[in-house]
Amino acid sequence: MNIGGFEKYSFIDFPGCISSVVFTRGCNFCCPYCHNPELVKPGGDAPAAAVSEEDVLTFLEKRRKYIDGVVITGGEPFLQPDLTEFCQKLKMLGFSIKIDTNGSMPGMLFDLIRDGLADYIAMDVKTDPDRYVPLIAREVDPERICRSIEIIIGAGLPHEFRTTCVRPIVDEPAIRVIADLLRGASLHALQKPRNEKVLAPAFFEQNQWQFSDAELDAFQSILSQRVQRCIIR
């Protein structure tokens, strides 16, 4: 596992659990508002918190009386060739596992769920999948995004979807498409972006990127008609 950072204790990243958070390095998307830019490139500069897989597992084994679960985030965790083996090791230690994903690799997502190696899934839905190129990635099959959504909703596991609300990536037509795709989902979070320590600072200088509270409320109303619960973060 190419681990770019490790947070030993978190009380907010895994609902209902005291967790540790593993940050994997490498992502196939280039979201301008990404707040972990040092993790996007697999060979990029390692942040100060970078640790080895062995160090992570050693810490977790010693602290498993105090930690309920492990969050694997990124970057994009499914780019890690050893993700399955790493999850198996975590399960052998007795931890619940939360996976954060961008949904671009539905086959691997399905296998991980099928094998009982995920207990909670969080997926970012960036915008209407047909608009990912060129706003989010140079290339991505929108059907992969849609398939991942179907897998997560159909799996019966605790889950959430998230959309960071930034113009022009998100607008009302995109929200309506997302709402239809997420029909029946347990939770959708509309997220307010941060414009500090981001992948593309120039994006925020060139665009009127913010939505008003009233506009976010309108988005929430649209989504609340399709998902069980929609919140604004």
Per-residue exposure over 37-59, b if at least 16 CB sit within 10 Å of its own CB, e if not: bbbbeeeeeeeeebbebeebbee
Count of CA atoms in the C-beta half-sphere (13 A) of 165: 24
Q: What are phi and psi of 181, to 5 degrees?
A: -65, -30
pTM over cut 0.85: yes
Average pLDDT on 80-108 reads 98
3-state secondary structure of 193: coil
pLDDT at residue 48 in the model: 46
Read off the tokens for 107.
Answer: 């086959």
CATH of domain 3-232: 3.20.20.70
Read off the tokens for 118.
Answer: 């995920």
pLDDT at residue 45 in the model: 52
- Give residue-wise pLDDT tens across range 3-56: 999 999 999 999 999 999 999 999 999 999 999 888 987 655 544 447 899 999
Provide, rounded to the nearest whole percent, the portion of the chain with pLDDT above 90.
Answer: 86
- Rounded CA-CA distance 157/173 in Å is 29
Out of 86-95, 134-143, 213-222, least confident range? 134-143
Question: Binning pLDDT at 50, 70 and 90, where does residue 136 land?
Answer: very high
3-state secondary structure of 60: helix
Mean model confidence pLDDT for the chain: 94
Q: DSSP label at 229?
A: -
pLDDT at residue 144 in the model: 98
